[in-house]
Structure 1
Amino acid sequence: MDVSPSVPVAQPRRLAELPLAKDMSHHINRLTKNRQANSLKEMYKYASLPGMVSMAGGIPSPAYFPFETLSATILPYDHLPLDPPRVPGKEKKSLLSWLFGGANISFTIPKYAEDPKDPMAISLATSLQYQAATGPPAFPKFLRRYVEEIYKPAYADWDVILDVGATDGFAKVFNMLLELGDSLLVEEWTYPGAMNAYMPYEVNTVALKMDAEGVIPEYMENVLANWDDSKGRRPRVFYTVPTGQNPTGATMLGDRKKAIYAIASKHDVVIVEDEPYYTLFLGKYQQQGTNATPLQQRQIELEKQEGKEGNAAFIESLPPTYLTVDTEGRVIRLDTFSKTSCPGSRLGWITSSPIFVERLTRIAEASTQAPSGFATAMTITMLNTWGWDGYMRWLRGIKAAYKMRRDWMCDALADQFHLEFDDGALNPLVRDTAGLGRGFTAYAKHPTGSAEAKWDEKRGVVSSRGTPLCSFIPPTAGMFIFLAVHLDQHPDYHLLGNDADDVLMGKLWRELAEHLVLFAPGIGFDSKGPHNIGGKGVGYFRISYSIITYEESRSATATFAKVLTKFLRA
């Protein structure tokens, strides 16, 4: 197995002060150890040398490509406002935006580069040709800068490789690491797409308990330290979505990541960090009519600033990644352009140690090869057109847009239900250990003075006499609210036996669908590990606020409140 390091990364930071990645080749499975470098692909790096007369590859002539140019019109990087209104129709524009903003930008990619000797030039002759699995040189160069400045890896010899979106990325990673019958550490609720990728390996999924900040370190340590060898060898791989976790919306911050990484290092576990929502770290939900803390207000003001100062504040606000604490090269991080550009580009990248990147390159050579030349050419040209600061400004606008939609959904729930803070007794996922925000339990909303309501002197609010209907934690990142329905409050719950949760959730889901409101059933995200973690009497829906309009958020929530109240007969 050739595991020679990839080309050294040109990094501006103190390279000499950082350690090199440890040898993690013992984690690579038998199948991947047997992969050999594609000898024809190896020639590509020589074929692109200026002046080379190449007659080695069976490749078509660019002269016969039917595409002479490729053109696109993109939005300006500051198209999305940094401070969108809580309620539509009250948009504000800065003076600079009125004077200079708003114009779309057009570019054209030619068939041949003006300077054929420039290896970073983007042209159709090279982009639409067969390429090395690592993609065009200009793209890894941009991504290396991004990883270095945003993630700040804690070892020196990391590198990146393009993939065909994060789904392709984790499929290749599982293909590299898993043997048939392995045990795999996963979060108790996890992404079904990842399940589809690892289940063919006949894995024993070991579900790890979660709270509002993701996996609980003490639980993970207990599982690994007390592993029963009769179940097979101890898990060596942990798959996780740390930011805006799909489906729960949980976000893991720096101290928790350090604790999890220390456990992974102690027990020699590889962390597969899947991060499609990383730059959608939205911050704590601020209820209408309440004031932000001085620290929160300062951060909000900094992030609203245009220019480099605002970009720097945005980067500083992002949670540390596992790469930030990885001194050994045991983290394999997956990123994607699906949430910040468009899913149809099928474009993302993997950051990891030289050994893992080299083996993933061999896998790509035998499967997807390089991502689509159309996607890479258009995306890197878009990024170069915006420039580094422009792309950071675009990410900030995307973040603000989804924060606005998150607030719409939470505000709509607050308007339709009577909400009270949840101390964790009613929702197993509530445990506010990191200031991420408290969860809420929702009750039927009754007018003050009605027979169903009373004044709570201690809290100074109208408190429902009814039963708890549902609970949720306002997410601090991502695109989802994970809503717990209190099924044990249904009058027929105890008559349905062990199947009560599934029967009632299925019936409620169908009733909502018949009323033209479609939620994702939580059961589809159950990692189906050996532990019954969620508890009886609670069912879950994943509610996505990413695409609905303000009006739809209001009408759908009103329908949900009516259906749920009637369903639980509250």
Structure 2
Amino acid sequence: MGSINHKYLPIDLSHHINEKSKARHPSPLKDIIRFMGKDGMISLAGGLPHPSLFPVQRAVFECEPPHTEPSFETPLVNLDLGRGPNSGKLDLTEFLQYGPGAGNKKLVSLARELTDCMHAPPCEHEYLLHPGNTNAWSKVVGLLSEDNDYVIVDEFTYPLAQALWILLGIRATSVSADEQGMSATGLRKMLESWDETTMGQRRPRLLYLIHLGSNPTGVTISAQRRREIYAVCVEFGGLGFFMANSVFTERLLRVTEVETQDPAGLSQALTLALFQNWGIDGYLTWLQGLQFQYRARRDWLITAFEDSFIVLPATKSPVLQAQGNVASIPDSDGKLMPIFSYIEPKEGMFVWSKFYFHGVRRFTELRDEKIEDLEQAFATELWETLAEQLVLLTPGSYYYAWQGPDKTSTVARGADPESAFFRFSFASPSKEQIEEGVRRVRKVVVQFWDVST
């Protein structure tokens, strides 16, 4: 009988790497560093500053212990990080010095342990630490995409992710979604019908997807939908999800060595010391506490919607193709006017809403003025009025997939007419602020929709 711990060798994905990344070579200075730690080595080669010149001698952090609910009565965890014989919990010296591009070995080992514990990847894989997701995504785009390529995204996607590729001439091609996330059927249809002559570029090979608590929509892709999407990607030679295939980590390490190098040493030291104190189980307990907190905050916002609007399931609403729930207010005749629809998020910290403008007096006035992008003009006016009433939402226009400078208007993007999107966040306001904020939204809605309260 074979071992249940056996892992398969990773498949060869080298054909996905772009030409620039294929041309990268290891930093020669990093070759020197790997010899410096040998016992008895006298280095006359490197330009590393002597540790005695580092100004930081000691760092003390007071952190919360792992818990599911915050408590002011719980004693804090004291992390005392120093240097030399009296270094405390962790010797800072190595963290203040230049380090390997992959990051501190002990911290990398903890990342591996955590991933194996929670996800048990079936293939051999490697790890690189990075200074932040934006930087990491930038490197992935630089690894896999050629200039002027297309990237597959959700209909609404994170704006900073797009900002990284717009300068390369890369455009997005979006796939529709429902309550379970990106449509695998829509993805297949888009890939099957891709015409390189019409589109001017090869079929997309990179898919950007947030599968848990998507920003901005809050959608969590179901396990079955993920399998369906993965099957389509495999069929069309797409990239699977790895943490991460060694072919990619080796190339990513090359770019890290000559750009950011290793993540900030003090950040690595604090993270390592905290993980060593908490352990994997403690970290998971802390994550569970976050889950409870955000679930409660989400419920505050949903309840505030129900208190300020009449909320019905989308199936009982006159709005065609609405998903989730529809918030309405009665007009002067008592007939319900749909204001916005939303899906209750299962993850994340946002509620994504679609506002409906049909029959709104001010929207009709703008139409008569022959505004170029009617929906965006009205959405902007609505957003600015909300801000004047001291309630701030995030405009949905920030999250539209970038299809090029000629496809920025509602009509050019092929978006639904007489509607626009806004994102509600329940991350930081108190329960009272959320309730008051939604009341202010209703006040502006009553003004624009021209109905009595």
Equivalent residue, structure 2, for 1:383: 275
Cα deviation digits, residues 315-347 of structure 1 (max 9, x gap): xxxxxxxxxxxxxxx325xxxxxxxxxxxxxxx
Q: Quick one: which amino acid aligns to residue 258 of structure 1? A: R
The match for 2:381 is: 507
**1:112 Cα shift?**
2.8
Of residues 516, 520, 524, the one that matches 2:390 is 516
Q: 1:273-332: CA deviations, max 9, x gaps?
A: xxxxxxxxxxxxxxxxxxxxxxxxxxxxxxxxxxxxxxxxxxxxxxxxxxxxxxxxx325
Of 259, 274, 280, which residue of structure 1 is paired with 2:228?
A: 259
Q: How does 1:395-434 map to 2 (within 5 A)?
A: 395-423=287-315, 426=319, 428=321, 430=323
1-structure distance, mates of 2:375, 2:134: 31
**Matching residue's letter, 2:344:** P
Matched, 1:172 2:139: yes
Q: CA offsets per residue over residues 175-213 of structure 1, 9 Å max, x none?
A: 111111111111110000001111112113111111112
Whole-Å separation in 2 of the counterparts to 1:32 and 1:499: 41
C-alpha separation in 1, matches of 2:38 and 2:291:
41
Q: Residue in 1 aligned with 2:82?
A: 110
Q: Any gaps of 5 or more consecutive residues in structure 1?
A: 1-12, 82-96, 116-120, 271-329, 333-350, 431-438, 454-464
Q: Which has the higher contact order (CA 8 A, sep 6+)?
A: 1
Matched, 1:14 2:17: no
Does the 8 A contact of 2:68 with 2:288 survive in 1?
no
Look up the equivalent residue of 1:259 and give its one-letter code: E
Amino acid of the structure 1 residue aligned with 2:31: E
Equivalent AA in structure 1 for residue 52 of structure 2: A
Once the two structures are superposed, the pairs formed by residues 315-464 of structure 1 within 5 Å of their partners are 330-331=240-241, 351-423=243-315, 426=319, 428=321, 430=323, 439-444=324-329, 453=334
Q: Name the structure 2 match of 1:242.
A: 211
Match of residue 344 from structure 2: 474
Alpha-carbon displacement from aligned partner over 1:226-250 (angstroms, at most 9, x marks no partner): 1102122110100111111111111
Which residue identity is paired with 1:262?
A
Which residue is equivalent to 1:538?
419
Please name the residue that 2:119 is paired with. 151
- CA–CA distance in 2 between the matches of 1:169 and 1:144? 17
The AA in structure 2 aligned to 1:470 is F
Kept after mapping to 2: 8 A contact 1:244/1:250: yes
Tell me what 1:183 maps to: 150
Instruction: Select between 189-198 and 489-498 the one with higher mean Cα deviation.
Output: 489-498
Whether 2:363 is the aligned partner of 1:493: answer: yes
Alpha-carbon separation, structure 1, partners of 2:182 and 2:318: 19
Tell me the alpha carbon deviations over residues 240-268 of structure 1, each in whole angstroms, 9 at most, x when there is no partner: 11111111111101110000001111111
Most deviating of 104-113 and 362-371: 104-113
Q: Which amino acid aligns with 2:353?
A: L
| Cα distance between partner residues in 1 of 2:414 and 2:321 | 9
Structure 2 partner of 1:47: 36
| CA positional deviation for 1:445 | 6.3
Q: Does residue 209 of the first structure (1) align with residue 176 of the second (2)?
A: yes
Determine helix, strand or coil for the equivalent of 1:102: coil
Alignment of 1:197 with 2:169, yes or no, is no
In the alignment, what sits opposite 2:18? 29
CA distance in 1, matches of 2:170, 2:58: 47
Contact 1:427 1:484 in 2 (8 A): no
Contact 2:156/2:400, CA 8 A, preserved across alignment: yes
**For 2:190 and 2:51, how far apart are their aligned partners in 1?**
56
For residue 59 of structure 2, the aligned residue among 70, 73, 85 is 70
Alpha-carbon separation, structure 1, partners of 2:288 and 2:151: 35
TM-score by length of 2: 0.91
> Do the aligned partners of residues 113 and 67 (structure 1) sit closer, same or farther apart at CA in structure 2, a change above 3 Å counting?
same
In the other structure, the counterpart of 2:185 is 218
| Secondary structure of the corresponding residue to residue 149 of structure 1 | helix
Shift of 1:114: 7.0
Deviation string 1:100-119 (CA, Å, 9 cap, x unpaired) is: x611111111213679xxxx
Give the Cα separation in 2 of the matches to 1:425 and 1:259: 31
Task: Give yes or no for contact 2:21–2:142 (8 Å, CA) kept in 1.
Answer: yes
TM-aligned CA distance change 1:470 to 1:489, over 3 Å:
farther
Shift of the 548–50 alpha-carbon distance from structure 1 to 2, 3 Å rule, reads farther
Matched, 1:549 2:434: no
Retained in 2: the 8 A contact 1:517–1:560?
A: yes
Q: Deviations over 1:367-388 (max 9, x none)?
A: 1000100111111111111122
Structure 2 vs 1, CA of residues 58 and 392 (structure 1 numbering), >3 Å: closer, same or farther? same
Residue type matched to 1:146 in 2?
L
**Partner amino acid for 1:148?**
D
Match of 2:101 among 133, 153, 167: 133
CA distance in structure 1 between the aligned counterparts of 2:413 and 2:360, rounded to whole angstroms: 21
> Deviations along 1:432-457, whole A, 9 cap, x unmatched?
xxxxxxx11111269xxxx855xxxx
| Amino acid across the alignment from 2:338 | P
Partner residue of 1:287?
none
Distance in 2, matches of 1:219 and 1:528, equals: 18
SS in structure 2 opposite 1:240? coil
Cα separation, partners in 2 of 1:429 and 1:526, compared to 1, 3 Å: farther
Q: C-alpha deviations, 1:508-533, integer Å up to 9, x for none? A: 00100001111110011000337845
Query: Shift of the alpha carbon at 1:20?
Result: 1.6
Letter in 1 for 2:46: G
CA offsets, 1:44-95, max 9 Å, x none?
Answer: 23323455443332101111211111110001211625xxxxxxxxxxxxxx
Report if aligned partners of 1:134, 1:361 keep a CA contact under 8 Å in 2.
yes
Letter in 2 for 1:126: E
Equivalent position SS for 1:558: helix
Taking every aligned residue pair, what percent have the same amino acid on both sides?
28
Aligned residue identity for 1:418: I
Distance 1:525 1:210, change over 3 A: same
Contact 2:51–2:93 under 8 Å retained in 1: yes
Q: CA RMSD in A?
A: 2.3
- Check 1:67–1:528 CA distance in 2 against 1; reply closer, same or farther (3 A cut): closer
Query: Conserved in 2, the CA contact under 8 Å of 1:186 and 1:238?
Result: yes
Instruction: Report SS of the residue matched to 2:127.
Output: strand
State the shift of 1:428 in Å: 4.8
